[in-house]
Chains A and B, each alone.
Chain A
Amino acid sequence: MTVSTLSRRTLLAGGSVLTLAGRASAQAAPTLLNVSYDPTREFYREFNTAFAAHWTGQGHPRQTINTSHGGSGRQARSVIDGLAADVVTLALAYDIDAIAERGLLGRDWQKRLPHNSAPYTSTIVFLVRRGNPKAIRDWGDLLKPGVAIITPNPKTSGGARWNYLALWAWALRQPGGSAATAEQAAAQLFRQVPVLDTGARGSTTTFVQRAQGDVLLSWENEAHLALQEFPQAGLEIVYPPLSILAEPPVAVVDQNVDRRGTRAVAEAYLNHLYTEEGQRIAAKHFYRPREAAILQANASRFPDIELVTIDAVFNGWAEAQRTHFADGGVFDRIYRPGR
């Protein structure tokens, strides 16, 4: 038994070293951590530089801004588990609601900033191979036999939930459309998905780099970025006549900023998203700006299609989540891998 005490002592010694390291890193100069979702990588890289310059320009010390990216649901889970995010900039309100439910920020978070705390919007479009060989122009064309569709998993990806809800909204609009026909359409769609990645960026790589599938259901900004990054890949964007208005929201995580003393800079960071500079950078990275003048100036990149809202069709995120994506919801019923 000497050995078990020996290794226990080793563990304890190791543990106290680790604890010291943990304390040291917690007390280092206050950095700002933005926990975001997958396709915002390029946007926030540029925005962080702009904000840091703005912040020092106002006489504050130099501010380091860190970012973390991943599937929106998974990122929310990490914040709940203790990832010390000062601000969260996620794909949908429900994921921030989930963090608020654990008391990390006030439940009224969405009323604190203009436009439902969503400084930019986006929508869901189709990315197809050049010449659109499968003639995909509307949601109905996706369900034709022989069309392979790439989308991430709605359980882990915010973008995938918007994909799913946009299809559902389209199906309700069809003659004789009802919850039952919409469920059939969704079931059919997921039968035609060969690869279900966990995040939007994974799906884009699957479609573009590995050349899987005929159509990628994608964030508008992610689709434009793919065209820009892979001019040789032979891709086109198709705008369906109807899609969904995606409002990716942002919020300060009260409990974390109050503990770390970063509230002022965190609030300034989010407010900067609404300024002319922030809106311009958003538009540059293919997020639809809220500022009418900047949207107008970029009208050619953001075609005017009919966008339905989650509040009008699904009565808000809480209900959409409960009905469709919670355990035992519609998605669980229709998606049976390997069947």
Chain B
Amino acid sequence: MSGAARPAAADPAWVRRLVIAAALALAVVIFLMPLAAVFNEALRRGIEPALAAIVEEDAQAAIWLSLLVAAIAVPVNTIGGIAAAWAVAKFDFVGKRLLITLIELPFSVSPVISGLVYVLLFGAQGFFGTWLRDHDIQIIFALPGLVLATIFVTFPFVARTLIPLMQEQGRDEEEAAATLGAGGWQIFRRVTLPNVKWALLSGVLLCNARAMGEFGAVSVVSGHIRGQTNTMPLHVEILYNEYMFVGAFAVASLLALLGVVTLIAKALLEVLAGRRMGEAA
């Protein structure tokens, strides 16, 4: 908020109302209506068929698989993301711009390509294919492939939320801690991490939401084996293709619900973080 910008309140009231109404209308049409339609389809025949579709054996397997994939991918990306953000924000080194570009790569590449890359590397005809087969290791069309594809697609979330904040905060506090004799790990734990914890949590939540919802990349490496390599989004597709629309939309509703809960948690975090900062000031 620089002083040169004209405050929004200076615009005529009708302009403000029009802009707000347009934004709200867009949000309703693009986000709320489809979401409502998903829940509506799921409950078309009442709550019982919808619940039955969720407790069904293959659906349970898909839900657990999605949770397992997220439980591996999110911690890996949290650690990797913090490390990358720390490096970019606090140090100068050759290849820094390259690292930033690489971090953003998964955002600019289609998820389908991310999946195909792993098929090319670890598929039976791929670069490591023969070696993997000789050692009886299955990467793609199994859990490891799903995890790798998910890590690739969701890597930027933590790093991208941390980098701007850490850059803005600068290195003064770290340097002060260093002159007072703190070691690297101590500085990170006592100074850097507390400064970014709210942003970190919100990045982790976004990363988790995407990890559970990812479709394109995992579709390529999944093999679509029911009860084994089907994640929740893939299970939705299978049910839809089998004319089981209530089931498909019930599982989709659960997925949407997980996303909504994540967003609410993120909003709460932001409120909390704002309050803490207010106290500090």
Contact = CB atoms under 8 A, between A and B. Distances in A.
Interface string B208-241: 0000000000000001111110000000001011
A69 to B, nearest CB: 7
A102 B76 contact: no
A11 B124 CA distance: 22
B206 interface: no
Contact of A84 (B87, B138, B148): B138
Given A22-B137, A68-B226, A81 B123 contact: yes
A140 B151 CA distance: 52
A205 B72 contact: no
B136 interface: yes
A296 interface: no
B138 A26 contact: yes
A229 B243 contact: yes
B243 A19 contact: no
A118 to B, nearest CB: 24
A17 B144 CA distance: 9
Interface string B130-148: 0001001111111110011
A22 B142 contact: yes
B83 A10 contact: yes
B193 to A, nearest CB: 15
B84 interface: yes
Given A66-B228, A82-B123, A201-B241, A18 B83 contact: no
A70 interface: yes
A195 B225 CA distance: 27
Given A3-B87, A10-B80, A18-B143, A78 B223 contact: yes
Contact of A66 (B125, B136, B227, B242): B227
A3 to B, nearest CB: 4
Interface string B30-45: 0000000000000000
A108 interface: no
A82 B138 contact: yes
Given A14-B76, A18-B147, A70 B140 contact: no
A42 B243 CA distance: 10
A222 to B, nearest CB: 11
B138 A70 contact: no
A68 B138 CA distance: 17
Given A18-B147, A18-B148, A82 B129 contact: yes
B144 A21 contact: yes
Nearest to B126: A81
Contacts of A70: 224
* Residue from the set A3, A38, A69, A70 with the largest chain B CB neighbour count within 10 Å: A3
A33 interface: yes
A41 interface: yes
Contact of B72 (A14, A33, A69, A102): A14
Given A3-B83, A23-B137, A83-B141, A41 B241 contact: yes
B14 interface: no
Interface in B69-111: 72, 76, 79-80, 83-84, 86-87, 91, 93
B231 to A, nearest CB: 14
Nearest to B136: A26
A18 B87 CA distance: 26
B246 interface: no
A31 B229 CA distance: 14
Given A10-B76, A22-B143, A82-B124, A69 B136 contact: no
A131 B228 CA distance: 44
A33 B142 contact: no
A244 to B, nearest CB: 25
Contact of A10 (B79, B125, B147): B79
B53 interface: no
Contacts of A68: 223-226
A1 B140 contact: no
A3 B84 contact: yes
Most buried by B among A10, A14, A66: A14
B139 A22 contact: yes
Given A1-B93, A66-B227, A81 B125 contact: yes
A152 to B, nearest CB: 13
A22 B241 contact: no
Given A25-B143, A66-B226, A7 B138 contact: no
Contacts of B243: 229-230
Contacts of A17: 72
A330 interface: no
A67 interface: yes
Contacts of A201: 241
Given A10-B83, A18-B139, 11 more contacts: A18-B144, A19-B137, A22-B139, A22-B142, A23-B136, A31-B228, A81-B125, A82-B138, A82-B141, A84-B138, A102-B124
Closest 7 CB pairs of A and B: A82-B124, A3-B87, A81-B123, A18-B144, A83-B223, A83-B141, A68-B224
30 contacts: A3-B83, A3-B91, A4-B87, A6-B83, A7-B79, A14-B151, A19-B137, A21-B142, A21-B143, A22-B137, A22-B138, A22-B144, A23-B137, A26-B136, A31-B228, A33-B225, A38-B241, A41-B241, A68-B223, A70-B224, A80-B125, A81-B125, A81-B126, A82-B122, A82-B124, A82-B125, A83-B223, A84-B138, A84-B141, A229-B243
